[in-house]
Amino acid sequence: MQKRWAISIGSFGGTVVRIHLTFLLLLAWIGLSALTAGGPRAALFSIAFITALFACVVLHEFGHVLAARRYGIPTPDITLYPIGGMARIKSNFEDPRQELVIASAGPAVSLGLAIVLMIAAGGIADPARLAMPSGLRDFAGLLALANLSLFLFNLLPAFPMDGGRIFRAGLSLLLDRDRATRAASWTGRLLGLAIGAYGVAIFHPILMLIGGFVFLAASAEASSVDLRKALSGYRIGDVMVDDVHMLTTVDPLSTAIEALIRGEQDRFPVVDPRGAPVSTISRSDIMLATQQIGLDAPIAQILDRNAVSLRTEASAQDALAALETGADPVFVVDAQGKTIGIVTMNNLAEFRMVRAAIDRPSPRPTIFGRRDHAVHKG
């Protein structure tokens, strides 16, 4: 089934481009605001400008995609959100040079577009012209300014911007990857706090939102490093979930509905009749398919994702890498290729918490429930 809240607008060179539905809401809000402030012409100009800007964002993301393909790295899709685009690249960039090239490619495209548009417009337009445009030169000038801003903003040394990845890649040439990620994450957190604080000082909600987003994204990168460290030395068989309800491709949708009712799972691994991994279906997938094709249809009719599987003896860090590059979940198979469990990001996080609790030093013994205190006698 298709990604929730995102619609596909086409596939280019094997990379699917999707638009999140919230982006359409953004267009509607911008159009309505411009209509109220400046009339139909201003509304049309604003909608056309935002559409053209996001076309430039798509080109920016394809800069990353084409650079990744140079190294043979899969790039399954690009999704457009109101805050920008996101290209999914299936790599953990163990080679910092690859990350440096791929992360730099997007901003390079934005800078190139800005230069071309500046030449076409004869310079950069005044941002105030957006409220009272006079023609194509203003349009091109404003689009040049937007691409230049996109270029500069993406060079900020903070995740998830390209600058954060460029910064980490540069540090990784001198330090190990985990230390480089921690350093880049702390830089991102401090930058996020600074942007948010400035937004509060001038009461600018967008800056507050961006600051919070940057802080959380940088924290997520640091959390990923901590999780990878916690999984060091463990196999997938040590961390997998084996008490999970699985469905088969030949089961009717009515079986999936019954599993939803009787259990607590909202996502089910699907295997073929021999137990080999096939795909995963969610609660929303099941409910939508039930309405469209009926309870008697086999589950195989609604599957459109390929499963990622690993053997039990593989490293737990390999499972984390697969999850971070889009697998959800990772199927765990035995020597015969039969599914015996799954690994999800949630159960890896729970494993880390349990290990942290086990490894935490015990408190000193106490008498009558109170800690002993040393008594100093002079």
Nearest CA among 162, 61, 60 for reference residue 111: 60
Tell me whether residue 162 is annotated as binding: yes
Please give the Cα distance from 9 to 228 (Å, whole number).
36
Amino acid letter, 295: L
Please give the Cα distance from 341 to 344 (Å, whole number).
10
Tell me whether residue 242 is annotated as binding: no
Torsion of Cα atoms, 65 then 70 then 75 then 78, to 10°: 10
Residue with tokens 């918490």, as numbered in its chain: 353
CA angle centred on 33, ends 32 and 39, rounded to 5°: 80
- Alpha-carbon Rg of the chain, whole angstroms? 25
Asked whether 337 and 312 are in contact (CB, 8 A), the reply is no
Q: Which residues are catalytic?
A: 61
Asked whether 154 and 107 are in contact (CB, 8 A), the reply is yes
Asked whether 152 and 163 are in contact (CB, 8 A), the reply is no
Please give the Cα distance from 42 to 38 (Å, whole number).
5
Longest dimension (CA), the chain: 89
Tell me whether residue 176 is annotated as binding: no
Q: Where are the alpha helices (DSSP H) in the chain?
A: 21-38, 40-70, 96-121, 136-154, 162-172, 177-201, 205-230, 236-239, 253-262, 283-293, 316-324, 345-359
- Strand pairing category for 15-20 and 77-81: parallel
Neighbour order of strands in the sheet with 330-333? 308-311, 330-333, 339-343
Please give the Cα distance from 352 to 227 (Å, whole number).
7
Please give the Cα distance from 241 to 236 (Å, whole number).
10
User: Which residues line the annotated binding site?
Assistant: 60, 64, 162
User: Which residues line the annotated binding site for Zn(2+)?
Assistant: 60, 64, 162
